[in-house]
Amino acid sequence: MLRGLIICPDEGLSERLEAALADLGLVTITRRMDHYPNAIELLRFLRAHAPQLIFLSVASLVKAMEVAAEVEKNTPGVQIFAVNDTCDPQLLLELMRAGIREFTSLPFDRYTLGESLQRISDALHARPPEIEVTDQVFSFLPSKAGVGTSTIALNAAMALSRLPNARVLLSDLDLNSGMIRFMLKLDNGYSVIDAAEHNDFYVVGTPQIDFELGSFIKSLNR
């Protein structure tokens, strides 16, 4: 089963496409986006969902081509499947020039859609997507409150911060009784909930741990 995303400002078209794909049973749609994302939002979107193909509305050809270019730049191998409510010969020509070979429009034909997905499956087999990931993320989740998980997380962050050229982000995501602020004797009164509600808020770090919350906070608020 292929992992797919839908980027389509037309909610009706998006819903009909997802229903047609569900009927085929060849693709799992993990997320729908109702607008054309900017480069930063798209990159976060791709890394979070690791799609194999993207069903991309070409209602705005200029914006769709910008998205397709960013996909190829950041995650080579992810396939683009163009979608529109009508089929226009000039539009097909522009898509071919841009290197997008698969296209579908209303009404979605089961047989044609299945053939296109088979070609995409073959292309993915020949060239698997390259999605940048990192193994430099450590999460600490307690089995119950009070077992010392915050202490372990804090000490691990302190140890990592002493490595050469290391920059460490320590995030306390306990929404009920986070202890990191108390343990570090930080005197600000803000929490991760406040961070999620304010895009431009950031925390100045300590000499041992570099708190860089700018991009993290923005991701929490989306």
Architecture of the structural domain at 2-126: 3-Layer(aba) Sandwich (3.40)
Token code pair at residue 25: 């049973």
What are the pLDDT digits (tens) for 44-66? 889 888 899 999 999 999 999 99
pLDDT > 70: what percent of the chain?
86
Look at residue 222 in the predicted model and tell me its pLDDT: 44
Distance of CA 113 to the CA centre of its chain: 25
For the chain, give every domain's residue range: 2-126, 149-220
Distance CA 127, CA 111 (A): 24
Torsion angles phi and psi, residue 94, rounded to 5: -65, -40
What are the pLDDT digits (tens) for 148-193? 899 999 999 999 888 888 888 888 888 777 788 888 888 877 777 7
| Chain mean pLDDT for the chain | 85
- The alpha-helical segments, DSSP class H, found in 39-191 are 39-49, 61-74, 89-97, 110-126, 149-161, 180-183
Torsion angles phi and psi, residue 54, rounded to 5: -125, 125
Look at residue 31 in the predicted model and tell me its pLDDT: 93
With a cut of 90, say whether residue 38 has pLDDT above it.
Answer: yes
Distance CA 138, CA 153 (A): 9
Which H or E element spans position 27?
A: strand 27-33
